[in-house]
Amino acid sequence: MTTTTEKIGKGRLLPATSSLEQWPWWALTIALAAVLIIFSILTTPLYQDAFNFIREGFVTTVRVTLTAYCFAILGGLFLGLGRVSKNVIYYNFATLYVEVMRGIPMLVIILYGAFVVVPLALQIINGLGSWLAGFALLAGLGAALQKITIQDVDMSGRAIAGLAMGYAAFEAEVFRAGIQSIERGQMEAARSLGMTYVQAMRYVILPQAFRRVLPPLGNDFIAILKDSSLISVLAVRDITQLGKLYRARTFSSFEAYNTMAFLYLSMTLSLSMLVKFIERKLGRGR
C-alpha cells in the first residue's frame, strides 16, 4: 500500500509533502497586515490623522468608479453587438473604436476625454441647442442646451467620461467573446422559429451570454476601480489624490501611502472574493 502512495506522490506536478505547505500563507500575511493597519489607525494619532484625511476620497473613488462602470457597460454592450454584427458600418465603427482605445494608455485616454472629448461634446450640444432654438416647440430646450458651458461639467464628470470611454472598449470585447461563445445552433434554432435577429439576440443569445460574462465583468470592475486612481491627474479628490496631498502636507509617506494602499486593497480583495463566489455559483447552475 505504501509503495503505491509513494508512486502517486512522485508523479505529482507539485509535490506537497505536508499540509503546512498548502496553507494560504499569502492570505494570512494580508490579514495580519490589515489587522496591523486597522490597529494603527485606531491607536496611533498619526495614522488616525492620515486615515481621516484620505477617507473623504473613498466616496469620490466609489462614485466615479460606479458611474464610469455603468456607462462602460452600456457602451460596451452597444460596441460588442457591433463587433458581431453583419452590418458593415456598425461592425467597422465598433472595431475601429475598440482597436483605437485598446492601443492607448488609460492615463492618456483620461486626459484626452477630459480636455478634448468633453469640450468637443459640449460644443456639439451648444450647436444642437442653437439649431433647436429655431423651432418654436423646442425653443426652451434649445436655449437650455445653449447655456451649458464647460463650467457645468466638473473634473470628476470629465474623469468619468475618460474612464468610461476606455473601459467601454474592454467591455465590448468581453461581450463579443460572450456572444460568440454561445453555440451557433442557438441562433439557428431561434431564427428557424421565425424570430428576427434582434429578437433572437434579446431572448436567446444575450441572456445566456450575460451569465457567461459575469465573472470577467466582475474582474473588469476591479480593474476600473484600480484605474480610477489615475483620475488624480485631473486633481479629482479621490483616495489617491488625497493621499498625495496628505503626504505633501505632512511628509508622513508611510502613513499616507499605507492607508491609501490599505483602502484600495480592502475593496479589491473583497470584490475578487465576491467574483469567485459568483463564478462558483454559476458553475454549479450549469
Partner 1 sequence: MDANQNQDIIIQIDNVTKSFGKIKALQGVSTTVKRGEVLVIIGPSGSGKSTLLRCINVLEYPDGGHIFVDGIPVMHKQTNINAVRAEVGIVFQQFNLFPHLTVLENIMLAQRVVRGRERSEAEQVARQQLKHVGIPEKAEAYPGQLSGGQQQRVAIARALAMNPKIMLFDEPTSALDPEMIKEVLDVMVALAKEGMTMVVVSHEMGFARAAADRIVFMDEGCIIEEGTPDAFFNNPREERTKAFLSKIL
The set of residues, in sequence order, having a beta carbon less than 8 Å from that of 187 and lying 6+ positions away, is 200, 204, 205
Q: How far apart are CA 162 and CA 236, in angstroms?
A: 13
Q: Three-state SS for 271?
A: helix
Q: How far is the CB of 216 from partner 1 (least distance, A)?
A: 18
Contacts of partner 1 in 163-192 (CB under 8 A): 183, 185-186, 188-192
Q: Does 196 interact with partner 1 (rule: CB under 8 A)?
A: yes
Contacts of partner 1 in 28-87 (CB under 8 A): none
Among 136, 194, 283, 284, binds partner 1 (CB under 8 A): 194
Could you tell me if 262 and 57 are in contact, meaning their C-beta atoms sit under 8 angstroms apart?
no
Among 204, 222, 231, 263, binds partner 1 (CB under 8 A): 204
Residue number, 131 or 203, with CB nearest to partner 1: 203
Q: How far is the CB of 281 from partner 1 (least distance, A)?
A: 15
Among 203, 254, 274, 277, binds partner 1 (CB under 8 A): 203
Amino acid at 20: L
Q: 119 vs 97, 151, 176, CA distance in Å?
A: 19, 10, 31
Residue number, 10 or 286, with CB nearest to partner 1: 286
Among 7, 86, 284, 286, binds partner 1 (CB under 8 A): 286
Q: How far apart are CA 263 and CA 54, in angstroms?
A: 9
Residue number, 149 or 196, with CB nearest to partner 1: 196
Q: How far is the CB of 86 from partner 1 (least distance, A)?
A: 12
Q: Which of 286, 252, 256, 227 is nearest to 64 (CA)?
A: 227
Q: Three-state SS for 197?
A: helix
Q: How far is the CB of 280 from partner 1 (least distance, A)?
A: 18
Q: How far apart are CA 279 and CA 75, in angstroms?
A: 24
Query: What are the cell numbers at 219?
Result: 474582474
∠ Cα 227 105 213 (to 5°): 60
Contacts of partner 1 in 262-281 (CB under 8 A): none
Binding residues for partner 1, rule: CB under 8 A, are 183, 185-186, 188-196, 199, 203-204, 207-208, 211, 286
